[in-house]
Amino acid sequence: MRNTTTEWNIYRTRFLIKARQLTEPLAFVDALGREQRGQPGDYLVEASDGRRSIQRREIFEDIYVVMSQAEETRPSLERAAPVSEPRRRVPPRPPATA
C-alpha cells in the first residue's frame, strides 16, 4: 500500500438523519435501483432528501449518536438563516484629494 499522506485527518458526519432499528427482516429497492436488505437489529435510515437505505447495526452504532430531545428541536444547517457578510477589519481609505 502506498503512503499518500503524511498525517491522519479527523472527520465527522455533518448531516442529520432519521433512523429506526429493524425488528424484522426488510428488503426493498432504493431510489438508485440498489437492493437494500436488513435483519433485526440493523437500521432503516432516511436522509434529509427522503432517500432510504439500510445500515448494519455495527456500522450505524459506530458512526451515529442519538440526539437528545433538546438538540432535535434546534434548526438544522439546511434550514438555518444565511450567514451575514463579515465585517471589514480595515477601515476604508479616505477619498483622495486633488
Residue 36, pLDDT above cutoff 60: yes
Per-residue cell: 5: 499522506
What residues does 44 pair with on adjacent strands? 20, 54
CB 45 within 8 A of CB 55: yes
50-91 pLDDT, tens digit per residue, is: 999 999 999 999 888 887 655 555 555 454 444 444 454 555
Q: What percent of the chain has pLDDT over 90?
A: 40
- Give a three-class secondary structure readout of 2-58: CCCCCCCCCCCCCCCCEEEECCCCEEEECCCCCEEEECCCCEEEECCCCCEEEECHH
Lowest mean pLDDT among 5-9, 19-23, 36-40, 83-87: 83-87
Q: What's the confidence (pLDDT) of residue 37?
A: 97
**Rounded Cα distance, 67 and 64, in Å:** 9
